[in-house]
Amino acid sequence: MQRSQISNLGENVVPEIKFDPELCVTCETIDCLMKCQYVKFAGISDAKAEKSKINAGEESRVLNECLTCYACQEYCPYNNNPFYLLVERQEEKGILPAPKPIIEEQLRMMGPRGRITPQKVRSPVVNMCAFPMLAGCVRGKLFEGASVISGNDMFCNIMWLHFAKNSVIRERVPKMIDNIMSFYLTDSKIDEMVCFHDECYGTYTSVADAFGISVPFKPVHLFDYISGRLDELSDRIKPINTKVAYQRPCSNRLSPETDKMLDDIFRKIGAERVPRKYDRENALCCGGVPRAQQRDELADELVEKNISDMLSTGAKYCVFNCPFCMATLGQEVAEHGLMPILVSDLVLTALGE
Amino acid sequence: MNDFIRQLAEITGPGFVSGEPEERYLYSMDQGTMPPVSPDAVVMPGSTEEVQQIMRLANKHKVPVVPMGGGLVLSGLTRALHGGIILDMKRMNRILKVNPKSRYAVIEGGASEGMLQAYLKKHHPELKHSMPDAPPIATLAGNICIHGSGHLSVLGGFHSDMLTGMEVVLPTGEIVKSGSCSVSTDWFARAPLPDLSGLFLGWSGTTGVVTKLGIRLFPSYAHNDMLIFVCEDADLMPDVISRLTGVQVAEDMTPWMTPKPEWARGFLHINISYGAHSKKELTFKRNLLQASVKKYSDQKIAGFLPMPPPQKSRFLKIPSSDLVTFADLRKGGGFEYVGAIMAIEHFAEAYRAGLNIARTYNVSYSMGARIIGAGHAMMFFYAYAFNRADPEDIKRAQHALEATNTAALEIGGIPWKSELPAQKQIIDKMDPGTFNLMNKIRSVLDPNHIMNPGNWEK
Amino acid sequence: MWLLRAWLDGKITLSQRFAEIMFSCTACGNCTEHCPFPGFKNLLLEAFTSGRESFLDDGLVPAGVRDYLTRMQLHGNPYGLPGKKRADWAAGTDIAPFTDQEYLFYAGDEGSYDNRGQEIARSASRLLAKAGISFGILTGGENSDGNDVRASGETALFEDLAKKNTDLFNNKNVKKIITLSPHSFNSFKKDYPKLGGNYQVFHYTQILAFNMGKLKFRENPEPVLATYHDPCYLGRHNLDYYSPRMMLSAVPGIKIAEMDRNKKNALCCGGGGGNLFTNVLSSGYESPARSRAREAKATGAKIIAVSCPLCAIMLEDAVKTEGLAGDLRVMEISEIINDRIM
């Protein structure tokens, strides 16, 4: 697990994903594939055969059928980065999870703009990633005194895992980290950054570790930050005493330990996280990414399953932490009578803001 | 002229006639690149009878008359090239009748697109008409007479195809009717009679003044959605368009190609909108559209952009506001486009010609098309933005437009709502018999040659 | 805009006719609301105001505008009446002069001098008192708010009027103002702070909307359909479409039927920019006020509810001219309410 392999691809030396094939050889459960909600296997031996093909860099149907939901990263009991490796293999083989022009266009759309200017920031620094339109979420006592940074020049770039583009992650993430440091944190002598999204936290912890990218600041998960603030603001909390259904996003699979922090948050604000069939380890994709893969009928099915599951719980709110999940499901959720809301906004409600 | 203006004022009342420099200036041009030409006066009639009296007066004194709707044609068709009067129809703006079962509306000649849209929304929410992507003040009559197209053109063709009949005041002052309304009290169709409407469609106001018209309405759906198809190869486009229109569920299809924003440069997109009475039907229609081009998405060379619902709302707005943003690209609010009507198989040629011209003349461009019918034709447009305060910039845009007209004709297309120089180019290429017949018809309808003279002349 | 551009480019010259066009603008803000160009749209009204300033500099001003501005300059109000008569509207009421009450109630030009405006001022102040609001009025000495003088392009005169008012208000230690007219509201709120007048400013409907619960309405009121006409300076200019509607919806028996053009799309009554006094806009069939009266009639309403004395005066005239006086009444909101409370 600790060794970092170097493979020689032509003239470019690309550090490979941190991964130990021996662990898979000795693995008896192949949870990474057996627990997959989307690709089906005849049995453990079938899964094992496919997994060894992936590991060896051979053709495997999994490379084509994968929904890119990140869940196998969480399922693997050895933290052996099965998903990152799978994406690596997809790219090596030129497998396109979505049509080429769609990937190319997104690559340009989300590319760095070079429009960043140095700015003095104060702690807590909240990174809104490429979603400046959500900067309004950072308000009230909860985020008192916070500096918000955002824009394409600090985009976490984790989305390329959905599009077989580990190379883009390797190329862009170090630049983004450099931007964050040199334009904001270094001069302000700050070494912590609150990640508003699971995506960013996953990038600067799990992805950075697996890809061998060094992160000079300490990423703080939003849940960690909120939970701490709630302790400080405990006298202001008016328990909301409401049932909430949580839509766990794919990127939380990269930091499963934070899901327990969310439980703490809900407990502190008096929200009851209703047991859902599709929550926690069994969380189901919101349906956004399959549409890029041109699998709209599957996406419709995922939306339908998520919604009917939520409705059966009697929850009043559908809580999101991922803005993309909220954009994908929010309208549908609202049409079915649940109120879509971001975790931070729900907490603000409990704080009377 | 002063005496003539006084006589006009007797017809309409003094508040609706002006020969003052301010009005003459305002009515000397449109937002496009054609040079201004001042009329001698501007008059706003309030009824068919007033139009009739004005035409009789003008005909008697051989004063040129230029009928005008919103004045938004951009190609200078409502300039008084030989002086005379601009007949601004905007006061005649009533919606006279809506027949919800036979799905048509009867309106006055100056009624605007926005007014009918608002009227239907309020009184007949189950109906809609095909809105062009023009400012809502554009008139229905003007748009139909230039063979406009809009948000239901895949479903219903050119807006002139949606015309069910007209009332027109001839240059000599007679009132004529075309279509079923000439026989019946109903305005349901132009069939089965000799189709006299053609005498006034596409003539740039050189044959008469439209005072009333009937237009087709269509079902307005409770559920609406859109898809954006994207590919990188212009040569695929005719087949893609043919496949997408082949399933017959889209209301509107508008390809677009633009270098700004930067991410879009080099990609060819098609916005496809469709509606349904239920969500189930909507999904069914989406699946049909997607299946029609599965050949390409399976090869991963093209596909549909993933768009969460909130991102779509901007594209579902009718009329679209995108062109407005483009119009201000160079600041100064100048904007003109050449639309050329052509067969869809020329898509790639038309696109490449546009790229060449933009490069040659160094102009900010945006290209696109509106598909007409089930792939029966398209209005391919080349839009060039310019700064109205910069004469050099205007000149560059003008040259680019001229080159585009030439290219469109070479490809086998025909410039749409063509400005004066393009009209001459079209006539040069036109079958001589056709042009002779046009002149014969004109001399019968307009013996004194007072209607928008200077247009459609050699 | 095209004419101003043409003038700046030397393509047309300033003329009486051009002046009439420029001064017929009521500064209603509809152009700003509907202009699709961000940034530019916010400069439209300023451009028109600057344009009018040039006409004033050249002395090319319609007679009505000239007389209006002269009266403003000489008397501090558009009626040419003595300043000391400003508080006459309150004669016979028990409204106290402003001393240390919470609010100053500013009745404005129409509320102070126009007969109809005075009725409205009395009605609105009566309702404020019923709702337990502590306010007083100035008894002469104050000037016109100057809002429409500013819109006409006569900036120096506006600043003079504003200066006199702010000096007076500051002397009297005014902190909060309730205005009768949305025009005063706009001016006090947006322009006075730049001239040394910093007050918390409210339109009277904004105070009353939150105090409706304090009023006791008579039982079994006659049901009436009313339509509400948004004044430009409360609505489009200050984005408050709701206070007056909140008031109306709290009145038992009143149902609201919206006109086609409402809230941000509302049609101006034609009285802004000094047009109430200058008459540059025609009062013909297609005038804004008459057009609005017909639009109100089309809703089936029996009452046009207004919250601006200028709108009341303009629309009342229009309703009469249209021959609708028999079945359509123009009523200011507090009048509707005063009729229905105990």
User: Does residue A87 surpass a pLDDT of 60?
Assistant: yes
User: What is the total count of domains within chain C?
Assistant: 3
Where residue A49 falls among pLDDT bands split at 50, 70, 90?
very high
ipTM at complex level: 0.91
User: Does residue A4 surpass a pLDDT of 50?
Assistant: no
The reply to whether C233 and C133 lie within a common domain is no
User: Does residue A6 surpass a pLDDT of 50?
Assistant: no
Residues of chain B below pLDDT 70: 323-335
Chain B nearest C-alpha distance from C167 (Å): 43
User: Does residue A1 surpass a pLDDT of 90?
Assistant: no
Structure tokens at A225: 């930050």
3-state secondary structure of C222: coil
Which amino acid is it at B370?
Answer: R
The reply to whether C154 and C49 lie within a common domain is no
Where residue C280 falls among pLDDT bands split at 50, 70, 90?
confident
Chain B nearest C-alpha distance from A126 (Å): 25
Domain presence at residue C77: no
Mean pLDDT computed over A109-135: 92
CB B334 within 8 A of CB B411: no
All structural domains of chain A, each given as residue ranges with its CATH number in brackets, are 6-92 (no CATH), 100-221 (3.40.50), 226-350 (3.40.50.1860)
Mean pLDDT computed over A297-323: 96
Q: What is the mean pLDDT of chain A?
A: 94
B304 contacts A109? CB cut-off 8 A: no
Radius of gyration in angstroms for the set of CA atoms belonging to chain B, rounded to a whole number: 22
B232 contacts A100? CB cut-off 8 A: yes
Residues 6+ apart with CB under 8 A from B331: B387
User: Does residue C90 surpass a pLDDT of 90?
Assistant: yes
Tell which of C7, C13, C17 to mutate to test the B interface (max B CBs under 10 Å): C17
3-state secondary structure of B6: helix
CB A217 within 8 A of CB A203: no
All structural domains of chain B, each given as residue ranges with its CATH number in brackets, are 2-88 (3.30.43.10), 95-219 (3.30.465.10), 222-418 (3.40.462.10)
Nearest C-alpha in C relative to B31:
C2
pLDDT at residue number B365 = 85
| Residue A304: φ, ψ to 5° | -60, -45
Residues 6+ apart with CB under 8 A from B127: B98, B100, B103, B120, B217, B218, B219, B220
Nearest C-alpha in A relative to B268:
A101
Size of interface A-B (CB pairs under 8 A): 68
pLDDT at residue number B28 = 96
**Residue spans of alpha helices (H) in A36-75:** 44-56, 61-65, 71-75
- Among residues A23, A82, A21, A68, the alpha carbon closest in space to that of A210 is found at A82
pLDDT at residue number B328 = 58
Mean pLDDT computed over A142-170: 96
The reply to whether C280 and C185 lie within a common domain is no
Residues in chain C with CB shorter than 8 Å from the CB of B15 are: 282, 284, 286
The last residue of one of the domains, among C209, C229, C255, is: C209
pLDDT tens-digit map of C20-56: 999 999 999 999 998 888 778 899 999 999 999 999 9
Locus of tokens 């119009």:
B327
pLDDT at residue number B325 = 61
The last residue of one of the domains, among C165, C181, C209, is: C209
Distance of CA C190 to the CA centre of its chain: 15
3-state secondary structure C253-302: CEEECCCCCCHHHCCCCCCCCCHHHHCCCCCCCCCHHHHHHHHHHHCCCC
Distance CA C290, CA C301 (A): 16
- Among residues C102, C152, C189, C126, the alpha carbon closest in space to that of C278 is found at C152
pLDDT tens-digit map of B191-241: 999 999 999 999 999 999 999 999 999 999 999 999 999 999 999 999 999
Burial code (b: 16+ CB inside 10 Å, e: under 16) for C29-63 equals bbebbebeeeeeeeebbeebbebbbbbbeeebbbe
Cis-peptide into B14, omega within 30 deg: no
Locus of tokens 């305002």:
B26
- What is the sign, positive or negative, of the torsion defined by CA atoms of A195, A201, A203, A208? positive
Domain presence at residue C104: yes
Mean pLDDT computed over A155-169: 97
C6 contacts B15? CB cut-off 8 A: no
The reply to whether C160 and C53 lie within a common domain is no
pLDDT tens-digit map of A181-234: 999 999 999 999 999 999 999 999 999 999 999 999 999 999 999 999 999 999
Whether residue B300 lies within 8 A of chain C, CB to CB, comes out as no
CB C329 within 8 A of CB C120: no
Residues in chain B with CB shorter than 8 Å from the CB of A324 are: 308
Residues 6+ apart with CB under 8 A from B194: none
Mean pLDDT computed over C255-271: 96
Residues in chain A with CB shorter than 8 Å from the CB of B306 are: 98, 102, 288-289, 291-292
Where residue C140 falls among pLDDT bands split at 50, 70, 90?
confident
Domain presence at residue C145: yes
Residues 6+ apart with CB under 8 A from C210: none
CATH number of the domain bearing residue C127: 3.40.50
Any idea how long chain A is? 353
The last residue of one of the domains, among C175, C194, C209, is: C209
Distance CA A205, CA A215 (A): 8
Whether residue B37 lies within 8 A of chain C, CB to CB, comes out as no
The reply to whether C95 and C191 lie within a common domain is yes
The reply to whether C162 and C188 lie within a common domain is yes
Structure tokens at C200: 């918390």
Mean pLDDT computed over A97-106: 96
User: Does residue A7 surpass a pLDDT of 90?
Assistant: no
Distance CA C146, CA C158 (A): 5
Q: Are strands A271-273 and A317-320 parallel, antiparallel or unpaired?
A: unpaired
pLDDT tens-digit map of C96-105: 999 999 999 9
Distance CA A78, CA A97 (A): 26
**What residues make up the domain containing C104?**
82-209
pLDDT at residue number A316 = 96
Where residue C3 falls among pLDDT bands split at 50, 70, 90?
very high
Cis-peptide into B192, omega within 30 deg: yes
Distance CA C98, CA C103 (A): 8
Could you tell me the end-to-end alpha-carbon distance of chain B, in angstroms, rounded to an integer?
Answer: 28
pLDDT at residue number B326 = 60
